[in-house]
Amino acid sequence: MQIQINAPRIASDDFAEIAEERVRGALSPYAERLTRIEVHLRDLNADKGGIDKHCLIEARPRGLDPVTAEHDGERIQDALRGALDKLGRVLEKRFGRLDTR
């Protein structure tokens, strides 16, 4: 499973490594079935504050159409965690349906 983190002007190299570890850990049950994960992080409101961090994660299951999940949060970590939770549920449902067939 290849992981790509896209976070222009938001995250440091250290955060990119931490984000990759979190993605790898959260999606490890599906690692054999996924070819690539793309994580897109961005700041919606710049310095205005509030819920302004956005995370979009795209997972590419082997032989299937890509699936996405997104979440907004006050901090980058919150947005990433929320998107990973949503993506985990989507993948569980999709692979669960395939396994029952």
- Per-position pLDDT tens, the chain of length 101: 999 999 877 666 778 888 999 999 999 999 999 999 999 998 887 666 667 889 999 999 999 999 999 999 988 899 999 999 999 999 999 988 776 75
Asked if 91 contacts 78 with a C-beta cutoff of 8 angstroms, the reply is no
Q: What are 87's two structure tokens?
A: 């993506």
The pLDDT assigned to 11 comes to: 60
Asked if 1 contacts 37 with a C-beta cutoff of 8 angstroms, the reply is yes
Pairing assessment for the beta strands 53-61 and 34-43 based on DSSP bridges: antiparallel
Name the CATH superfamily for 2-100. Answer: Ribosome hibernation promotion factor-like (3.30.160.100)
> What are the structural domain ranges in the chain?
2-100
Q: What are 7's two structure tokens?
A: 């976070």
The pLDDT assigned to 59 comes to: 96
